[in-house]
Amino acid sequence: MALIGQPNVAFCLLEGRPLHNVTTTMSDKVSQVLEQTDGLGASTLAFAPIGQFQWEAVLEGFYDTGAGLAQEGLELTGDQVLMYALAGNAIGDPFTGIDGPHGEITTLMERGKFHRTRANFKAHLGPQGGAHDIILPAALPVRSYVQAPYAIVTDVGPTNLATLDWGAGFVDQETGSAIGFLGVSALVLDGGADILFTIQDSNNDIAYVDLIVFTAVAAAAAGERVAAAAAAIPGDIERYTQLMYEFRGGAGALRSCTFAVGLVRSFQ
């Protein structure tokens, strides 16, 4: 049996802002929504599933008001990309990503101690991943892995990271879907224009074509969720995937970027 402990927590990013540095506790929960079906005056309670699933996450940590850090991200309005890997920071490690609003932020103050913050997130569990869906339903064989670990890169590029092999069950995937998540924590362009991230796929781990192209990033912090249907170019979603990144414009030699990428795939 594999045990996962605190040193395995790799990253937790909110719109690219690192939360793992100040987060002390985190829990996520998947629940099936039930409705009460017993009649008025029945002697026993009865419940039945209504086909809806809900995902919730609660993060608690230190109240950090630094620019580009946790509290700044929590105070944003609208949809935000939350992405985390709690079991390692290597390509192929388990990953979770969601693009949706947080429902509640609580500031906890206690004399003689650091202020703390608690944030709650909620989302619907959907098989194909709508704007506020997270793909986790047990009815579908779904995989969700780290495509690029949380790390700093300095190569000008274009540079591809190591291959992720999804296994024989993901050969010539015609009816499934893929959703990519990008979080950029820090970016130094040194006179350049931006950095471009692309997830590519291949059926032989030799010839790769573009599958998901993220919006070019010109400033940190940034986060994005991009979905690719199976009917889009290159026509299907293949067994092997890799991330390609490229600093664009200018000739600065000091360019660097700290980021992570996750990829979620369902196979039908």
In a domain, 239, yes or no: yes
**Which letter, b or e, does each residue of 120-158 get, where b requires 16 or more Cβ atoms within 10 Å of its Cβ?**
ebbbbbbbebeeebbbbeeeeebbbbbbbbbeebeebbe
| The two three-digit tokens of residue 87, written as one number | 């079991």
pLDDT of residue 173: 66
In a domain, 63, yes or no: yes
Contact status, residue 33 vs residue 50, Cβ threshold 8 Å: yes
pLDDT of residue 153: 93
Cβ atoms within 10 Å of 43's Cβ, excluding its own:
5
The pTM score is 0.81
Q: Is 249 helix (H, G, I), strand (E, B) or coil?
A: coil
In a domain, 78, yes or no: yes
Contact status, residue 265 vs residue 237, Cβ threshold 8 Å: yes
pLDDT of residue 24: 66
pLDDT tens-digit readout, 70-97: 666 666 666 788 888 878 899 999 888 8
pLDDT of residue 262: 94
Domain ranges, residue 224: 9-36+50-266
pLDDT of residue 136: 45
In a domain, 55, yes or no: yes
Cβ atoms within 10 Å of 93's Cβ, excluding its own:
16
What total of structural domains would you count in the chain?
A: 1
In a domain, 2, yes or no: no
Contact status, residue 159 vs residue 246, Cβ threshold 8 Å: yes
Q: How far apart are CA 143 and CA 133, in angstroms?
A: 15
Contact status, residue 48 vs residue 127, Cβ threshold 8 Å: no
pLDDT of residue 143: 76
Q: Which residues of the chain have pLDDT under 70?
A: 1-9, 20-24, 63-78, 101-103, 106, 108, 112-113, 124-142, 172-176, 229-235, 251, 266-268
In a domain, 42, yes or no: no
In a domain, 262, yes or no: yes
In a domain, 120, yes or no: yes
